[in-house]
Each structure stands twice: as structure tokens, then as C-alpha cells.
Amino acid sequence: MSVVTWQEAEDTLTAAVEYLGAMPDRERAFLAAGQRTAWPAIVRDLQSDYADVEASPSPQLTRRCANLVERMLTGERPLANAIPEGHRPLVGRVIVMKRWPGPDGFGWDHVFRSQRGELYNLARGAVLPTTSDGMRKAYERAIGRLAVALDRVAVGN
């Protein structure tokens, strides 16, 4: 009997978000076309503010990474759908803020300010004011629901 812990669920969702961000942006591919011309430096100067710094290539994603992104976020029935729709913006913001905390570090007070102290409640169809502790609890419940969904998939139910 497999039991997916809350931390494993959060780590899996964080990994999927990271892999999604590392995937190539095919719509932006036309910007790289000038690099194959006789004047790549000029084209780079026109396209970016950091033309003197060579861009590092994005990491190579494995099929396992792409499958995780599809299973968790982009597939026909992604597991992230276990997260209540009204809490998805909060969960996404917290995942990003925890992974890339910034100079002041991660804190629920930062999350509170970034969300302007509001959570969306689909059952009531309204934006409800809340506290930073309320946001923390909503996030924990949402990841808990994801853990249950991951456990169901792992067990094969």
C-alpha cells in the first residue's frame, strides 16, 4: 500500500512547474532565426537588452520530465485538477515563491501581499478577504488533495 506524503506531493508539483518552465517556447523560436544569418550580433542587439551576454541553453528535458508535466499539469486529466479551481492561483504563486524566494526569502506575509489578502471561493462565487494564515491553510489543504490524487494513481484506484 503506497501512501504519498504531503511533502512528496508538493515536491512533485514543484518539479512539474520547473520542467514546464524549462520547456522550449516554440512561439519564441522565430527570434533565434537571426542567429543563422551573416549578422547574428546585430539581430541579438535588436532583440534583447543583454546582447553582450550569451544566453545559456535550456537544460535538456527527458521524456520522464515531459511525462511528469503532462501527468501533473497539461494532460487531458491532469492530477493538479485535484486542487480546487479557486485555489490554483494561490498554489501556483506559492510554488514559485517557495522555489525562487527572492532576496527576502519566502514568507506567508509576502504571499498575503501578492494576493492582496484575497482568495477566490467558487462555492460562494466571490472573492473573500483572508489572512496569511488562512492562505497557508488553503495551500496545505490543496496540496493534501493533490497527495490523495497522487496516491490513487500510485495504488491504481
Give the residue extent of every domain in the chain.
Answer: 6-23+61-155
Bridge partners, 119 (sequence order): 128
Indicate left, alpha or beta for 48 from its phi (over 0: left) and psi (-120 to 50: alpha): beta
Q: Is 10 exposed, middle or buried (0-12, 13-18, 19+ CB in 10 A)?
A: buried
pTM of the entire predicted model:
0.68
Mean pLDDT value across the chain: 75
Q: Give the C-alpha separation, 152 to 157, whole Å.
A: 5
| Ranges of the chain whose pLDDT falls below 50 | 34-40, 42-44, 46-47, 49-53, 55-56
- In degrees and rounded to multiples of 5, residue 13 shows phi and psi of -65, -40
Judge contact between 129 and 117, C-beta under 8 A: yes
Report the amino acid identity of residue 141. Answer: R
